């Protein structure tokens, strides 16, 4: 009966064939929470019968640590990439501003030259002499007024020239600073990329030394550990009060994310064929009509946070103290996520990793 109730909950959340498939996966992997019986609980990892098994568990921990380090570096890489793109955009905007300002400067210089020439042609005789020699004193006064206006116009043009040259100096300094920042961001990006490649290569090399049977055992050990951690989370009662329902946008995001199941994790990838963890959540919420930050750390910083007990399907669960991993909550104690290199987008327990907190892409920021 518990399995039927959970299946109905998921079916109500997402509807139709997709919901039924998800419920089957959740039941088969023991992820459904709340009404789990002792028979449904994830088995504890078997005590290692020999040194080989102990060695394999050590390898698992080492590989996990290397991929976690790569994931942290991936976030640093993505953040640096965003800054590179921002600086490039600012430099282009500055270049356009400078070109426009130089055009205005050329016009003002021509105006200043014309006014100066006019003043020169009108000069040479003192105003008192002009008044005596002029047959029409009123015409002289009118001309004198025009001269004053011309002088004021010259001062105005000179003032504009001065300000414009000052602005151009500022633009040039800003552009120089932007170029320096761009180069610094590129260096950060390259350093992060090297760290990622080094960590992933080390993990792959470590895994490649295992025989085929050991690789199968390693994967089972990873799954077993995840299920054990998930069961401890369920036993804590964390899922007991979670009753939230997905919004329409949340359902769209879930539909997109779950339709990517089986696609490979590739660091820095944002689809459509491969994803990293935050690339998957980014695209899923874009499909739902919401633009969210690119990285899991920025998703944690910028999106509205909600208490775990108020979590609802479509929310993003942020993992580890450094916010270096993210998955999308599906309901019934499960998430969909892109785990790590060498693995595919899949469904797993929401409590199978240390939870930092929950954020809501379609929520309202407070405070």
21, 27, 55, 325: the active-site residue: 325
Give the end-to-end CA distance of the chain in Å, rounded to a whole number: 44
> CA 358, CA 367: separation in Å to the nearest integer?
17
- Could you tell me which of 120, 109, 175, 113 has the C-alpha nearest to residue 147? 120
Question: In degrees rounded to 5, what are phi and psi of residue 3?
Answer: -65, -40
Instruction: Please check whether residue 229 is in contact with residue 351, taking contact to mean a CB–CB distance below 8 angstroms.
Output: yes
21, 55, 163, 337: the active-site residue: 337
- Could you tell me which of 265, 230, 218, 229 has the C-alpha nearest to residue 60? 218
> CA 270, CA 73: separation in Å to the nearest integer?
16
- Could you tell me which of 350, 353, 257 has the C-alpha nearest to residue 30? 350
Q: How far is CA 268 from the centre of its chain?
A: 11
| Count of Cβ atoms closer than 10 Å to residue 27 Cβ | 18
Instruction: Please check whether residue 323 is in contact with residue 277, taking contact to mean a CB–CB distance below 8 angstroms.
Output: no
> CA 314, CA 361: separation in Å to the nearest integer?
8
Grouping H, G, I as helix, E, B as strand and the rest as coil, residue 29 is: helix
| Count of Cβ atoms closer than 10 Å to residue 188 Cβ | 17
Asked if 163 is an active-site residue, the reply is: no
21, 55, 163, 277: the active-site residue: 277
Active site residues: 277, 325, 337
């Amino acid at each position: 009966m518990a399995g039927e109730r959970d299946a109905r909950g998921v079916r109500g959340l997402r509807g139709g064939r997709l919901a039924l498939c998800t419920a089957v996966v959740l039941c088969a992997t023991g992820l459904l929470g709340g009404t789990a019986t002792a028979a449904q609980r994830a088995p504890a990892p078997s005590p290692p019968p020999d040194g080989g098994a102990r060695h394999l568990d050590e390898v698992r921990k080492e590989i996990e640590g290397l991929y976690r380090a790569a994931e942290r570096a991936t976030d640093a890489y993505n953040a640096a990439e965003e800054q590179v793109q921002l600086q490039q955009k600012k430099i282009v905007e500055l270049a356009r501003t400078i070109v426009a300002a130089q055009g205005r400067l050329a016009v003002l210089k021509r105006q200043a030259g014309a006014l100066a020439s006019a003043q020169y042609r009108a000069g040479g005789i003192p105003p008192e002499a002009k008044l005596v020699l002029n047959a029409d004193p009123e015409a002289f006064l009118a001309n004198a007024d025009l001269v004053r206006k011309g002088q004021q116009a010259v001062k105005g043009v000179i003032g504009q020239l001065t300000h414009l040259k000052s602005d151009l100096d500022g633009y040039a300094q800003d552009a120089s600073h932007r170029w320096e920042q761009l180069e610094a961001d590129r260096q950060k990006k390259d350093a992060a990329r090297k760290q990622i490649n080094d960590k992933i290569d080390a993990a792959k090399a470590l895994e490649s030394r295992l025989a085929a049977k050991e690789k199968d055992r390693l994967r089972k050990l990873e799954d077993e550990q995840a299920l054990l951690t998930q069961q401890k989370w369920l036993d804590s009662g964390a899922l007991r009060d979670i009753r939230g329902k997905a919004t329409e946008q949340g359902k769209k995001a879930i539909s997109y994310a779950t339709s990517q199941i089986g696609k490979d994790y590739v660091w820095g990838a944002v689809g459509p064929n491969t994803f990293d963890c935050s690339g998957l959540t980014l695209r899923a919420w874009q499909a739902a009509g919401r633009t969210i930050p690119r990285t899991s750390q920025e998703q944690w910083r910028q999106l509205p946070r909600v208490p775990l007990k108020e979590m609802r399907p479509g929310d993003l669960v942020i993992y580890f103290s450094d916010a270096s991993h993210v998955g999308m909550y599906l309901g019934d104690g499960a998430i969909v996520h892109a785990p790590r290199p060498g693995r595919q987008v899949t469904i797993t327990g929401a409590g199978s990793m240390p939870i930092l907190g929950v954020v809501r892409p379609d929520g309202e920021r407070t405070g």
